[in-house]
C-alpha cells in the first residue's frame, strides 16, 4: 500500500468520525487504567456496566484499595477473569499510592511495571489519558491492518511498529480509535461488511467482494 492511499484511508475515517474515542467510560486517568485492566478478554459494554457502579463507590486509588480484593470482586464478578483482575487492580492501587502519590504515571516504563499492565494497556493510557501519539494494537487493529494491507505484520509488535512508521503524523493521535471501531463494527472478524465500508475502494484485501 502506498503513502497516498494510507493518507486517503485516514482522511476518510476522520471524515466519517471526526472525534473518535474509547467506548470505555471513565472520568480520570486512574479510572481509564482500571477500565482497560478489566477489559482484557471482555467487552467494553460489560466493563462499563460494572464500572458505572464501582466508580461511584471507589473513584480513586485510595478508595479502591480500601475495598480490598474480596470487596472489589463483588463489583466486577460479571467480568471474565475477575479474580485475577481484582488482585491486579488492588495491587496497582497500592503501587500508585506508595510510589506515584496516588496518580497514574505518564511513563511507559512505570505503567508497564504495574501488575496486569502490558504494552497494549500502557499504549491506551498514554494515548487516551495523556494525549501521546501511541497506537495500541488489539485483535481488531491487528486484523484490519493485515486485511487492508495498511500495516501487515505477523505479530502485534510488528503491526504497531509499522503503523507508527506509516500513519501520517496528523492522524497518529486518533489512529487506534478509528481502526478499533472500524474493526469492531465494519471490518468484522468472521465476515467483513465490505458493502458498507467507507474505505472499500482503498482497501487491498484480495477477497473483498467489490
Residue 93 assigned to a binding site: no
Figure out which of the listed residues 51, 148, 179, 181 binds ligand SF4, where binding follows CB under 6 A.
148
Stretch that binds ligand SF4, among 70-78, 133-141, 158-166, 199-207 (CB under 6 A): 199-207
Instruction: With CA atoms as reference, report the closest residue to 92 among 31, 28, 22, 134.
Output: 31
Q: Is 172 noted as a catalytic residue in this protein?
A: no
Stretch that binds ligand SF4, among 29-37, 68-76, 158-166, 191-199 (CB under 6 A): 191-199
Q: Contact between 130 and ligand SF4 (CB under 6 A)?
A: no
Give dist(CA 198, CA 178) in Å, integer: 12
CA atoms within 13 A on the CB side of 20: 20
Instruction: With CA atoms as reference, report the closest residue to 160 among 144, 187, 141.
Output: 141
Instruction: With CA atoms as reference, report the closest residue to 122 among 47, 156, 134.
Output: 134
Q: Is 120 noted as a catalytic residue in this protein?
A: yes
Q: Which is nearer to ligand SF4, 38 or 199 (CB)?
A: 199
List contacts with ligand SF4 (CB under 6 A). Answer: 147-148, 186-187, 192-194, 197, 199-200, 203, 205, 208
Amino acid at each position: 500500500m502506498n503513502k497516498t492511499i494510507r493518507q486517503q484511508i485516514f482522511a476518510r475515517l476522520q471524515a466519517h468520525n471526526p472525534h473518535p474515542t474509547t467506548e470505555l467510560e471513565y472520568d480520570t486517568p486512574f479510572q481509564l487504567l482500571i477500565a482497560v485492566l478489566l477489559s482484557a478478554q471482555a467487552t467494553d459494554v460489560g466493563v462499563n456496566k460494572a464500572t458505572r457502579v464501582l466508580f461511584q463507590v471507589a473513584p480513586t486509588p485510595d478508595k479502591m484499595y480500601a475495598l480490598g480484593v474480596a470487596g472489589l470482586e463483588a463489583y466486577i464478578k460479571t467480568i471474565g477473569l475477575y479474580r485475577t483482575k481484582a488482585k491486579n487492580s488492588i495491587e496497582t492501587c497500592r503501587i500508585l499510592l506508595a510510589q506515584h502519590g496516588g496518580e497514574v504515571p505518564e511513563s511507559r516504563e512505570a505503567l508497564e511495571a504495574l501488575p496486569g499492565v502490558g504494552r497494549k494497556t500502557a499504549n491506551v493510557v498514554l494515548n487516551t489519558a495523556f494525549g501521546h501519539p501511541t497506537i495500541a494494537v488489539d485483535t481488531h487493529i491487528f486484523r484490519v491492518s493485515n486485511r487492508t494491507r495498511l500495516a501487515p505484520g505477523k505479530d502485534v509488535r510488528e503491526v504497531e511498529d509499522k503503523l507508527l512508521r506509516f500513519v501520517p503524523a496528523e492522524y497518529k493521535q486518533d489512529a487506534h480509535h478509528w481502526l478499533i471501531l472500524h474493526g469492531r463494527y465494519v471490518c468484522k472478524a468472521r465476515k467483513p461488511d465490505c458493502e458498507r465500508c467507507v474505505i472499500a475502494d482503498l482497501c487491498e484485501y484480495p477477497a473483498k467482494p467489490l
